[in-house]
Structures are given as structure tokens and as C-alpha cells.
Structure 1
Amino acid sequence: IVVHGGTDGFSRMIVYLKAASKNSASVVLKNFIEAVNQFGSPSRVQSDKGQENVDVAHFMVSNRGENRHSHITGRSVHNQ
């Protein structure tokens, strides 16, 4: 079981927390889009450099535009 989660960087509110049977980009994107539909699209998303986050990165660049730092990557310890 893999747990996927997203928090608001300002309020620290847990936006989504889901358990899944696999760690794939499509599952992460599905969970992310459900949160976007409920809370709105963030201006930026920060994640680690894992392949499971690629679709979210593409989604953010497509929806927010290039050269806006819409998706930022860093070490996992800094994602909180």
C-alpha cells in the first residue's frame, strides 16, 4: 500500500490523503485533480523528483504556464 498526500504550504491543511495499491503517476494525478476540483488550483506545487510526480508537473505547467515555477522539485525532507 502506498499513501499519497498533499498539504497546503501556507495553512498546513491536509488537502488529500489517499491509500493506493500502486505508486504511479496516473494515480497521483487523479488524487491531485480531485483536490484541485474541490479546493482550486494552487499557484505552485512542490514535490520530490520521483517519477510518480511527472504527470502533476505537466498538469501544473499546462495550466499555469511555463517559466512560472509552477512545479518545484526538491528533496522529500523539504516538501513539508
Structure 2
Amino acid sequence: MNEMLSSGIELMLIGMGMVYAFLAMLIVAINVMSQLVRRYFPEMPAKFSDQPVVAGNDKAVIAAITAAVHQYRKKHKHG
């Protein structure tokens, strides 16, 4: 019985060690890939971020959404 207990503890420690080793390797790999992406693919600045949104398009968008909702309700009329 004592031999089985020590064998079980040994197996548990080996398994836990492998899990921790894998997690450590995963963290290192994620950090390395993150650094590579930052180096070779820097974040591109937004081209149109400083221009205001045109208010004339809002009415057209609202009209399109209203028409789509109306068509959906007409097609899926319950009762």
C-alpha cells in the first residue's frame, strides 16, 4: 500500500509539473508573438478619425432601417 501511495504521489507531481511547464511555455509563446506583431505590424493610424460625421446620411440610414423593419413585420405577421 505504501508503494502505491508513493507511486501515486510521484505520478501526481509529474503531471502537475508538466501542466505548469506547458502553461509557462504558453505564456512565453504568447508574449513573443505579441512582440513580433507589434514590431512588424504596427497599429495603423485611423485615416478619417479627425473628420466629422456627415449629418445628411443619418436620415437616409433611418429611412432604410424603417423600411427594413416594415418589410420584416409585413412578411412575418403573426395572427
**Normalization by structure 2: what TM-score?**
0.21
- Report 1 or 2 for greater relative contact order, CA contacts < 8 Å, sequence distance ≥ 6: 1
| Higher alpha-carbon Rg | 2
Answer 1 or 2: which has greater helix percent.
Answer: 2
**Normalization by structure 1: what TM-score?**
0.21
